[in-house]
Every structure is written in C-alpha cells, then in structure tokens.
Amino acid sequence: MAATAQPFPHTPAPAPGMDADHALESGIAELVRDQLAPQTVAIDRQGVYPSGFMHAFGALGGYSQHIPSHRNGASHDFPRAISLMETVSRECMSTGFCVWCQDALAWYLENADNPEARQTLLPRIASGELLGGTGLSNGMKHLADIEALKIRVRPVEGGYIANGTLPWVSNLAAEHAFAAIFQVEDSDRKVMAVTFCDQPGFALQQCAEFTALEGSGTYACHFRDAFIPDAHVITHDISGFIPRIRSGFVLLQMGMGLGVVQGCIDIMQEMAATHAHVNRYLDDQPATLTDALDDARSATRALGREIGDPSDELFADVLQLRHTASELSLRASQAAMLHAGARGYLANAPGQRKLRESYFVAIVTPAIKHLRKELERLGAH
C-alpha cells in the first residue's frame, strides 16, 4: 500500500445549463470513468492509493453533501452523499471505502462539541484539501463491549499525551489526519480527537499485504508520547456525542454495499450477451438482484432524510439496513462469479475482485456479527 497515484491534472467542468445536483452527479461519474477506472486494477493488485482522485472528488463537492455547514444554508443530503459513494464503489470499492472514511471524518467534525476543531479542520476535510481516516473501528467496538480502547491519554497543559497502537486505520498517508477515541488515564472519561500523521510522537507502520482493499491506505498507527492539543479535540466526553453521529456513521457505509451490488449486476448483464442460454439456470438473475437493490436504495433514502434523529429506534433501523447490505453484497458477488464462470478467475477479472470486496462490506466495522450484537441489545433482532 505504499504506492501512490500521481495527481490528476484537472477535475471535470459541469456542462452549461445543468442544475447543481445534476452537474455534481455528472462530474463525479465522469471523474470515475476517466480518472478512476483506468487505475482500478493497479489499486487492487499493486496497492496504489488514488490520491489524485480523492482530492478531485472533494474539489467537486463529493465530501460535503452530508455537511450542512458547507451547503450554503441547505440541510444535509445524506442520500446524495451515499449515491456518489455508490458511483465510486461500483467501479472500485477500495476507493469507495476511502471516500467513506473521508465522509465519516467530516461528519464527526460537523458534529464536534469543540467549535475550534470544527472551524479549523472541517473546511479542509469537506473540500478534500486534507484527506483522512475515520479511526473509529476500535472505539465503536469498545462501545459495543467487543474490545478495550487501545490508546490512552493523560491530561497535560493545553491537551493530552497519547500512547498506544491502533492496528487498522485507513485512508492514511504521511500528510493525512484521522480521528480516534482515547481512554483518559485513571478515569472513566473518553475523548475523541484528530491526529495528524506527520506530528511528533506518531508513526505509521505498513500492514501485511491484503487480498483486497490493498489500495486503501491502511496502516497501523503508533502513539509514543504524542501531544494532542485541545484545539484538535472533537469532544472531551463522548457519552453525548456518539448518539449524534452513530446513525450517520453507519448509514454512509451503504454507499459501499450498494455500489458493490450494482457492480455485480453489471458483470451478470455483461455475461448475458454470450452466456444467457446457460446462466438462466442459476438461482440469482440480474432482474431479481436489481429489485432487491432498488428496495435497499429506497430504504437508504428514507433513513437518510431522518439522520438528525439520535434515537435508538432510528439507529436500529439503520443497523438492520446495513445488515441487509452485507448479506445482499455477499449474495450478489457469488452470483456474479457463477455467471462469469472461469472468466471470473482471471487475475484482473472484476468478478473475483467484487467477491473479495463483498466480504469487506460484511466484515468492516460494524461487521455482521457486530450488527447482530447491537440489534439484540436494542431489542430489534
């Protein structure tokens, strides 16, 4: 994952006469077709991180659709943010995952209790000028009683000193930033803050080679007496913060799942041109999966309009839909491989890539088992 793609020379310009939403969608589609698709195999097989695409996506407005403070007075548009991520994930879910990381970090900062962090960091994240990761896998698992927090901090003048290691954080590079939840020493209190990857006392360590998502900029993060200034603290107490961001954090991941499913349907439809006569004997057909995908999209749009609700009821609905996305991704990728047959085993084949991507949809936090645990806790499973 050390390789980084070169920056792209430009971002697409909207066609004259387009309304803003249409122009955005058209621009992102063009960016994916012309600048991401030629790199997909290199991202997947060589671990190339598409930094140019990631910056260009933000320059078009891709990271700000769910951020009301960056929408000229308009309310958040979670469905559009998810739809744009779906467009990316349909082509390359490794990059779609990076988009989710960026979106999630922007969402935390939009909801920050600390106005200084929101005012100084959010504009750079929402515009794509500064790229970064979510870093909340450990924190969300901790809050679900799955694992302990791995980073501890002690209060000092003007901030905190952090020590520990987070084993998996994505969408990172030396010039990036990410958020994490820290345990305050000798206290039950937990804080959430942004760390810059080039700051003193912090180091990125290359992870082992992955079979998928190799181009996602995933590293182990080591804190050795790293200073976290109060200016970079999102909240000094997460108990009231998490209910505000949890449904958005999870619902945004639908962009990955929906994109993978659509990509699998694309493969099946392409194979129908030459193999419809025999593929018709397979259980899952493009039309059936398209119906299921349309239902998931409709549910995503409906929940996206309610995302400001911090209730357990909405969160349970979001978790259930996210569970559906995992199962549908696994089902669709298996169907795509069966429709592709031996062609799906070629090293550069999209079929086997989508199969590997679908497993990531099912295991990224919150994984299927995590989702079921939370649904049981909420009495909704």
CATH number for the domain including 62?
1.10.540.10
Q: Rounded to an integer, what distance in angstroms lies between the CA atom of residue 64 and that of residue 67?
A: 5
Please give the pLDDT value at position 213: 82
Q: Are residues 104 and 36 in the same domain?
A: yes
Q: Rounded to an integer, what distance in angstroms lies between the CA atom of residue 221 and that of residue 68?
A: 31
Q: Rounded to an integer, what distance in angstroms lies between the CA atom of residue 185 and that of residue 190?
A: 9
Query: Are 107 and 252 contacting, i.e. CB atoms less than 8 angstroms apart?
Result: yes
Q: Are residues 220 and 334 in the same domain?
A: no
3-state secondary structure 75-108: CCCHHHHHHHHHHHHHHCHHHHHHHHHHHHHHHH
Q: Rounded to an integer, what distance in angstroms lies between the CA atom of residue 53 and that of residue 263?
A: 19
145-172: per-residue pLDDT in tens? 999 999 999 999 999 999 999 998 999 9
Q: Are residues 227 and 246 in the same domain?
A: no
- For every residue of 189-213, DSSP letters joined together read -EEEEEEETTSTTEEEEEPPPPSS-
For residue 362, the tally of other CB atoms under 10 A from its CB is 18
Q: Is the pLDDT of residue 10 over 70?
A: no
| Confidence class for position 8, pLDDT limits 50, 70, 90 | very low
Which of 69, 66, 84 is closest to 123 using CA atoms? 69
- For every residue of 4-44, DSSP letters joined together read BPPPPS--PPPPTT--HHHHHHHHHHHHIIIIIGGGHHHHH
Altogether, the residues listed in the chain come to a count of 381
Q: Are residues 366 and 247 in the same domain?
A: yes
Residue 2 located in a structural domain: no
Tell me the residue type at 340. A
Please give the pLDDT value at position 237: 86
| Confidence class for position 1, pLDDT limits 50, 70, 90 | very low
Q: Are residues 207 and 308 in the same domain?
A: no
Q: The domain that contains 270 carries what CATH number?
A: 1.20.140.10
Q: How many domains does the chain have?
A: 3
95-143: per-residue pLDDT in tens? 999 999 999 999 999 999 999 999 999 999 999 999 999 999 999 999 9
Mean pLDDT in residue range 230-254? 95
Q: Are residues 214 and 313 in the same domain?
A: no
Please give the pLDDT value at position 219: 94
Please give the pLDDT value at position 6: 47
Q: Are residues 220 and 339 in the same domain?
A: no
Q: Are residues 111 and 198 in the same domain?
A: no
Look over the chain and give the mean of its residue pLDDT values, rounded to a whole number: 93
Please give the pLDDT value at position 12: 55
Query: Are 211 and 357 contacting, i.e. CB atoms less than 8 angstroms apart?
Result: no
Pick the last residue of a domain from 167, 201, 235.
235
Pick the last residue of a domain from 235, 264, 299.
235
Pick the last residue of a domain from 218, 235, 252.
235
| Confidence class for position 15, pLDDT limits 50, 70, 90 | low
CA distances from 306 to 90, 237, 314 (A): 25, 25, 8
Q: Rounded to an integer, what distance in angstroms lies between the CA atom of residue 211 and that of residue 94?
A: 11
Q: Rounded to an integer, what distance in angstroms lies between the CA atom of residue 140 and that of residue 148?
A: 10
Query: Tokens standing for 166?
Result: 């987070």
Residue with the two structure tokens 């357990």: 312
Angle (CA) 270 273 276, round 5°: 105
Residue 123 located in a structural domain: yes
Which of 40, 55, 41 is closest to 10 using CA atoms? 55
Q: Are residues 97 and 224 in the same domain?
A: no
Bridge partners of residue 229, in order along the sequence? 159
Q: The domain that contains 225 carries what CATH number?
A: 2.40.110.10
Residue with the two structure tokens 């991941």: 253
Q: Are residues 51 and 163 in the same domain?
A: no
Q: Rounded to an integer, what distance in angstroms lies between the CA atom of residue 85 and that of residue 184?
A: 35
* Identity of the highest mean pLDDT range in 4-8, 30-34, 345-349: 30-34
Query: Tokens standing for 184?
Result: 């305050």
Q: Rounded to an integer, what distance in angstroms lies between the CA atom of residue 257 and that of residue 238?
A: 28
Query: Are 181 and 138 contacting, i.e. CB atoms less than 8 angstroms apart?
Result: yes
For residue 243, the tally of other CB atoms under 10 A from its CB is 15
178-222: per-residue pLDDT in tens? 999 999 999 999 999 999 999 999 999 988 777 778 899 999 999
Q: What is the dihedral of CA 256, 260, 263, 269, to 10 degrees?
A: -140
Q: Are residues 213 and 267 in the same domain?
A: no
Q: Are residues 53 and 89 in the same domain?
A: yes
Which of 381, 380, 337, 342 is closest to 356 using CA atoms? 337
Residue 8 located in a structural domain: no
267-276: per-residue pLDDT in tens? 999 999 999 9
Q: Is the pLDDT of residue 75 over 90?
A: no
The reported pTM is 0.94
Burial label for 157, CB within 10 Å (0-12, 13-18, 19+), is exposed
Residue 4 located in a structural domain: no
Please give the pLDDT value at position 184: 96
Which of 140, 152, 214 is closest to 183 using CA atoms? 152
| Domain containing residue 166 | 137-235
Query: Are 290 and 333 contacting, i.e. CB atoms less than 8 angstroms apart?
Result: no
Mean pLDDT in residue range 273-283? 96
Residue 63 located in a structural domain: yes
